[in-house]
């Protein structure tokens, strides 16, 4: 049992100081900028909520928001089930499973701006393995000008990049399940689905909680990879929220960029808040599931 | 059934390995005409070119310095905080954890502009200290979560015995707690190292004229006539520290990642 002691805050001082400097101060600065028109940093002109109004009512914002949401939905829809399935496979594969676990972790250590470079080389029709194979099969893969192909490339590339995170965290939960649980389930004649639903899923639910949040936010705000593949093209078909923000910053439109950043931050924050509230609620209803 | 499973594993391995194989093959291929090598032939020229270029070697070192500094910072600030969360309840503990989660999930692009302005005032541009500090934004929460779950697994009596033996809190941390949760320190260091190593947005905006990390050095190689073989050789190098880290924590990688809010 944990004891109640407010002096524990003293132990948080270093962490709070660092987070204050790199988190709270910049956030307050963005908030302040977002209400100003900024020519240079010395001349701020108060404009109230003008930036917010023009962003929220613009069709471009709605379109980018829809694209970002679609991308997140695709990413979660593909990577979550696939990652869990792979983890289930690896837990039963023993020594080979552990090696595979290390292999799927490798894409996680590739610097983010290298990933598009690797994939563009791979699908290059003249020098890339996949590009040559597709050319030989007569498949015209044109990520530059066909929106569907750009999207496919982004989703496949992102899956390659991040599948390992889902697999590692799911694997961690699964490998901790004691063998007698499975034996008991076998005696009861439980179906494969029942085994997953009532024994395996509860063990990985807390790990899935953070996976879903991390994958949602990182895909929702994808920048480096999406920009490198096609800079938002073709014809803005892959212009996500973060690419709009990058454009504002590059155009020195700091007031507008700050307001945009705040809007994005609030979207992310509300999703997290709702998600935490829902999980808390479920854990309180079924306390045994949170173990 | 087991044939199906083996086939699925093979397909997965192929999917993961294909882009890596492409990178490695290209890194050993002469992709621009150089003296004495035929374009498209096997060659070590790309690797020789890396070491012939001081800018590329410097970039490797710059990256290593700020990543290691970041890991040290996250562990030093994260360990006492993790201990506080593992052992005590206090006013605002849940709010602090939620704030940590919120900052971990804040996209770097959102804060890039004010961080640049703030760091310029403190002379932290072009300096590894600046990048190491800003990467705490997403790594410190992770370090606290991981360390907390490992500390919680240590029984309370362990602390009390040490205090009865006359250890002060810092002495207890260094002599008793750190050895007891060594795997947890390893896993936390692993994730901090990786996330700092692969991050690009902050690393780019905070290095304007000097101190370029390896990721930016690779970007700078893209010109009118890009030597893609050299790019791929650098990419292979950028993978090595991460691969080494995976190997070090291979027995603990899949443990201790419970996030509380």
What pLDDT is attached to residue A1?
Answer: 61
Among all residues of chain A, which has the CA nearest to that of B169?
A11
Which chain A residues have a beta carbon less than 8 Å from that of B30? none
A208 inside 8 A of chain B by CB: no
pLDDT > 90: percent of chain B: 18
Question: B214 vs A12: CB contact, 8 Å cut-off?
Answer: no
A169 inside 8 A of chain B by CB: yes
Question: B140 vs A3: CB contact, 8 Å cut-off?
Answer: no
- Angstrom distance (rounded) from CA B258 to CA B187: 12
B80 inside 8 A of chain A by CB: yes
Structure confidence by residue, pLDDT tens digits, B64-83: 999 999 999 999 999 999 99
B residues 33..62 contacting A (CB < 8 A): none
Q: Which of A15, A41, A213 sits opposite B77 (nearest CB)?
A: A15
Which chain B residues have a beta carbon less than 8 Å from that of A261? 109-111, 113
Whether residue B257 has pLDDT greater than 80:
no
- Interface A-B, measured as beta-carbon pairs within 8 A, has a size of 249
What pLDDT is attached to residue A242?
Answer: 81
For chain A, residues with pLDDT lower than 70 are 1, 286-291
Whether residue B251 has pLDDT greater than 80:
no
CATH class of the region B53-248: mainly alpha
Chain A: give the shortest CA distance to residue B219, in Å.
8
What pLDDT is attached to residue B11?
Answer: 92
Which chain B residues have a beta carbon less than 8 Å from that of A283? none
Quote the mean pLDDT of chain B: 84
B157 inside 8 A of chain A by CB: no
Q: Of A5-19, B42-56, B233-247, where does mean pLDDT reach its minimum?
A: B42-56
What pLDDT is attached to residue B35?
Answer: 62
B8 inside 8 A of chain A by CB: yes
Chain A: give the shortest CA distance to residue B233, in Å.
11
Chain B: give the shortest CA distance to residue A33, in Å.
9
Whether residue B44 has pLDDT greater than 90:
no
pLDDT band of residue B18 (cuts 50, 70, 90) is: very high
Q: Which of A2, A160, A246 sits opposite B89 (nearest CB)?
A: A2
Structure confidence by residue, pLDDT tens digits, A231-270: 877 877 788 888 888 887 777 778 888 888 888 888 888 8
Question: B200 vs A112: CB contact, 8 Å cut-off?
Answer: yes
| Structural contact between residues B148 and B260, judged by C-beta atoms closer than 8 angstroms | yes
What pLDDT is attached to residue A289?
Answer: 41
What pLDDT is attached to residue A60?
Answer: 85
Structure confidence by residue, pLDDT tens digits, B205-221: 888 877 788 888 887 77
What pLDDT is attached to residue B58?
Answer: 86
Domain boundaries, chain A: 59-290
Q: In the structure encoding, which two tokens stand for residue A81, read together?
A: 């089930």
pLDDT band of residue B38 (cuts 50, 70, 90) is: low
Whether residue B259 has pLDDT greater than 70:
no
Structure confidence by residue, pLDDT tens digits, B113-130: 889 888 988 888 888 899
Task: Spell out the long-range contacts of B230-233 with Cβ–Cβ below 8 A and sequence spacing 24 or more.
Answer: B230/B31, B230/B46, B230/B49, B230/B50, B231/A117, B232/A121, B232/B23, B232/B24, B232/B26, B232/B27, B232/B46, B233/B27, B233/B46, B233/B47, B233/B49, B233/B50
B93 inside 8 A of chain A by CB: yes
Which chain A residues have a beta carbon less than 8 Å from that of B92? 9
Domain boundaries, chain B: 53-248
Question: A18 vs B133: CB contact, 8 Å cut-off?
Answer: yes
Which chain B residues have a beta carbon less than 8 Å from that of A223? 107, 109, 201
Question: A111 vs B215: CB contact, 8 Å cut-off?
Answer: yes
What pLDDT is attached to residue B1?
Answer: 59
Q: Which of B118, B144, B235 sits opposite A29 (nearest CB)?
A: B118
The fold for domain A59-290 equals MetI-like fold (1.10.3720)
B231 inside 8 A of chain A by CB: yes
């Amino acid at each position: 049992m944990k004891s109640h002691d407010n002096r524990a805050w003293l132990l948080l001082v270093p962490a709070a100081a660092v987070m204050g400097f790199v988190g709270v101060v910049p956030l307050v600065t963005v908030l302040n900028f977002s209400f100003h028109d900024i020519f240079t940093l010395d001349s701020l002109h108060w404009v109230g909520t003008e930036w917010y109004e023009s962003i929220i009512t613009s069709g471009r914002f709605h379109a980018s928001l829809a694209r970002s949401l679609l991308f997140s939905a695709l990413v979660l829809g593909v990577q979550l089930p696939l990652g869990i399935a792979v983890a289930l496979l690896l837990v039963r594969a023993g020594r080979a499973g552990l090696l595979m676990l290390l292999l799927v972790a490798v894409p996680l250590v590739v610097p983010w701006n290298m990933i598009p470079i690797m994939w563009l080389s791979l699908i290059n029709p003249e020098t890339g393995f996949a590009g040559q194979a597709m050319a030989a099969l007569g498949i015209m893969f044109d990520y530059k000008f066909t929106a569907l192909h750009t999207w496919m490339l982004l989703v496949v590339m992102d899956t390659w990049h991040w599948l390992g995170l889902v697999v590692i965290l799911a694997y961690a939960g699964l490998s901790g399940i004691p063998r007698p649980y499975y034996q008991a389930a076998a005696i009861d004649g439980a179906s494969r689905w029942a085994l997953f639903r009532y024994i395996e899923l509860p063990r990985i639910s807390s790990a899935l909680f953070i996976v879903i949040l991390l994958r949602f936010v990182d895909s929702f705000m994808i920048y480096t990879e999406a920009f490198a593949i096609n800079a938002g093209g073709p014809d803005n078909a892959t212009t996500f929220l973060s690419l709009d923000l990058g454009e504002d910053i590059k155009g020195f439109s700091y007031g507008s960029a700050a307001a945009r950043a705040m809007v994005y931050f609030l979207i992310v924050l509300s999703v997290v808040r709702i998600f935490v509230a829902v999980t808390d609620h479920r854990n309180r209803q079924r306390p045994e599931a949170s173990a | 059934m087991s044939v199906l499973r083996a086939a699925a594993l093979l397909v997965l391995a192929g999917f993961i390995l294909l882009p890596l194989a492409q990178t490695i093959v290209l890194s050993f291929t002469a992709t621009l005409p150089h003296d004495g090598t035929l374009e498209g032939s096997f060659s070590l020229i790309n690797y020789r070119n890396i070491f012939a270029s001081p800018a590329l070697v410097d970039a490797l070192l710059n990256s290593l310095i700020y990543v290691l500094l970041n890991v040290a910072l996250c562990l030093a600030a994260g360990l006492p905080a993790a201990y506080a969360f593992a052992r005590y309840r206090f006013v605002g503990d849940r709010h602090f954890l939620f704030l940590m989660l919120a900052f971990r999930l804040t996209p770097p692009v959102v804060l890039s502009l004010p961080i640049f302005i703030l760091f310029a005032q403190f002379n932290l541009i072009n300096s590894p200290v600046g990048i190491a500090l800003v990467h705490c934004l997403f790594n410190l929460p992770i370090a606290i979560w991981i360390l907390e779950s490992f500390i919680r697994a240590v029984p309370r009596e362990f602390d009390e015995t040490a205090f009865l033996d006359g250890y002060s809190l810092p002495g207890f941390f260094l002599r008793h707690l750190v050895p007891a949760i060594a795997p947890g320190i390893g896993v936390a260091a692993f994730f901090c190292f990786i996330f700092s190593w692969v991050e690009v947005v902050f690393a780019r905006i905070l290095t304007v004229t000097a101190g370029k990390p390896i990721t930016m050095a690779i970007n700078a190689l893209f010109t009118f006539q890009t030597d893609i073989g050299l790019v791929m050789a650098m990419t292979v190098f950028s993978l090595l520290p991460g691969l080494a880290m995976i190997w070090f924590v291979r027995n603990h990688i899949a443990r201790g990642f419970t996030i509380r809010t």
